[in-house]
Amino acid sequence: MKVYTKVYNVNKSLMPYCVEKNISFTSNNVDEMWDSLDPVDKRLFFFDLAAMDWQEFWLFALKGMRVYLLNDPMETVPQGIKHTRKLWIRKMVFDSIIWIAFSYLAYIFFRKIF
């Protein structure tokens, strides 16, 4: 639960700033530098964002955030997966009970009308 609390607190403190501000980023200097590099340097210092594998990037970035920002070691991943699975099962059971109860009430209501 400490991880959830940390994420919640960070989100709570940053959300008003992100919602109220209109942020735009430009990369003119980076584009000019990339255009000025010769092909050997472009291969050596590869940072073409259009050709980047973003799925792999976010996989490593999220692991790094987990370990270094949240101080949550990767050894706790199996425990977290088990916990998430238990929560999902509880949610499915609860949703099923609510759905069955609602269906039964609708059946009783419409049976009296028709």
Whole-angstrom distance, CA of residue 46 vs CA of residue 93:
50
pLDDT at 1: 65
Looking at the structure, tell me whether residues 57 and 81 fall in a common domain. Answer: no
Tell me the DSSP string of 3-67. Answer: HHHHHHHHHHHHHHHHHH-------HHHHHHHHHS-HHHHHHT---GGGS-HHHHHHHHHHHIII
pLDDT at 79: 94
pLDDT tens digits, 55-112:
999 999 999 999 999 888 999 999 999 999 999 999 999 999 999 999 999 999 999 8
Looking at the structure, tell me whether residues 8 and 57 fall in a common domain. Answer: yes
Looking at the structure, tell me whether residues 68 and 80 fall in a common domain. Answer: no
CB contact set of 45 (below 8 Å; sequence gap of 6+): 37
pLDDT tens digits, 40-68:
998 888 777 788 889 999 999 999 999 99
Looking at the structure, tell me whether residues 65 and 96 fall in a common domain. Answer: no
Looking at the structure, tell me whether residues 86 and 114 fall in a common domain. Answer: yes
For residue 107, the enclosing domain spans 76-114
The pTM of this model reads 0.48
- Residue 8: pLDDT band (50, 70, 90) is confident
Looking at the structure, tell me whether residues 68 and 82 fall in a common domain. Answer: no
Determine the average pLDDT of the residues in 28-43: 88
Looking at the structure, tell me whether residues 32 and 81 fall in a common domain. Answer: no
Looking at the structure, tell me whether residues 83 and 35 fall in a common domain. Answer: no
Give the total residue count for the chain: 114
Q: How many domains does the chain have?
A: 2
Looking at the structure, tell me whether residues 8 and 56 fall in a common domain. Answer: yes
Looking at the structure, tell me whether residues 36 and 3 fall in a common domain. Answer: yes
Looking at the structure, tell me whether residues 90 and 44 fall in a common domain. Answer: no
Looking at the structure, tell me whether residues 20 and 48 fall in a common domain. Answer: yes
Chain centroid to CA 5? 16
